[in-house]
Amino acid sequence: MYSKGFFTKQEKAGVLQGFRQWLELQNYESTTLYYGPHRIEEFIDWCNDHQIKTNHAKAFFEHLKVRANKNRPGSLSVSTLRIYLRTLRLFRRFLREVGGVDLEVNIIYRSTEVTHHEILTPSEVKRLYKATEDDLLGLRDRAMLAVYYGCGLRRTEGASLLVDDILPDKNLLYVRKGKNYKERYVPILGDVRKDILTYLTVSRPGLLSGRNEAWFFIGVRGRKLGGPALYERLKKLLNKARIDKPCGLHSLRHSIATHLLANGMSLHQIAKLLGHSTLDTTQIYTHILRGLKYDQE
């Protein structure tokens, strides 16, 4: 085992399968479930091929800094290196929690290059809302914006919402399937509450056509509407609003966090809203805000 050196070729398949299952239990995104084990397989193979005996993660990361990019000329981007580092740290957690062994990931990586998710300005968000129609799908679009922008949910959190997770009598939305299965409550007030309840009482019953369905977001056939379909609806709104930015559902989450910070909300409050485990993750919005110049109107 790892504690005696590193993983053998015979052990590798079981380790990768266990890591993938652990990621599933932690409720990570499908992209992490797919690519995470592939990155760790590359890590294990490289360490074995080069007979690395100590400081496996650090040696591998130094290799990544000079490794050629397989998809385009040049080396790996800063964002890709950060993804690898995050995966190595996840793998360390897995080993400690499941195998009782420790993988030293003593890596401090800083770069002058800063990458961010695309952020919509407040005026662009208003244009998105204005682009919605007054029909059943349009009312659902407004509920989608309320969930992802107004409540700041992650893509899978919004797609996994149940009708019972909406608690209008308490003005709360219950996130039962947050990252690492951490539950939280998010306030729904003002227009956010109005748009969610209008969808529930007007649009959703029309889409159901008599069917019974527990999921909050449903399609025209009365069945669950997943993340990819919600993203397609967002793209249509972006096109109609003439917003030429590569935005996804997660961009709405980053946008509301940045806007709340700009309006004076504390990092602690924003971290609680977004479901961050530590303030370190929330600190990124201070850097984003410093680099942004946008119209508040």
Out of 148, 149, 199, 285, which one is annotated catalytic? 285
Between the alpha carbon of residue 253 and those of residues 65, 70, 196, 201, the distances in Å are 31, 31, 17, 25
Q: Which of 124, 120, 272, 134 has its CA nearest to residue 195?
A: 134
Give the whole-angstrom CA distance, residue 87 versus residue 99: 17
Known catalytic residue: 276?
yes
User: CB neighbours of 284 closer than 8 A, spacing ≥ 6?
Assistant: 116
Out of 142, 253, 254, 259, which one is annotated catalytic? 253
Between the alpha carbon of residue 195 and those of residues 3, 122, 138, 273, the distances in Å are 54, 18, 11, 19
Instruction: With beta carbons less than 8 A apart as the criterion, state whether 190 and 256 touch.
Output: no
Known catalytic residue: 179?
yes
Out of 20, 39, 233, 276, which one is annotated catalytic? 276
Out of 12, 250, 272, 294, which one is annotated catalytic? 250
Between the alpha carbon of residue 40 and those of residues 5, 20, 199, the distances in Å are 16, 10, 43
**Burial class of 112 by CB neighbour count within 10 A (0 to 12, 13 to 18, 19+):** exposed
Tokens of 260: 């709340």
Known catalytic residue: 72?
no
Out of 20, 154, 233, 259, which one is annotated catalytic? 154
Instruction: With beta carbons less than 8 A apart as the criterion, state whether 33 and 23 touch.
Output: yes
Known catalytic residue: 50?
no
Known catalytic residue: 250?
yes
Would you say the C-alpha torsion 262, 266, 268, 269 has a positive or negative sign?
negative
Out of 92, 179, 184, 224, which one is annotated catalytic? 179
Rounded to 5°, angle at Cα 151 from 145 and 157 = 90
Catalytic residues: 154, 179, 250, 253, 276, 285
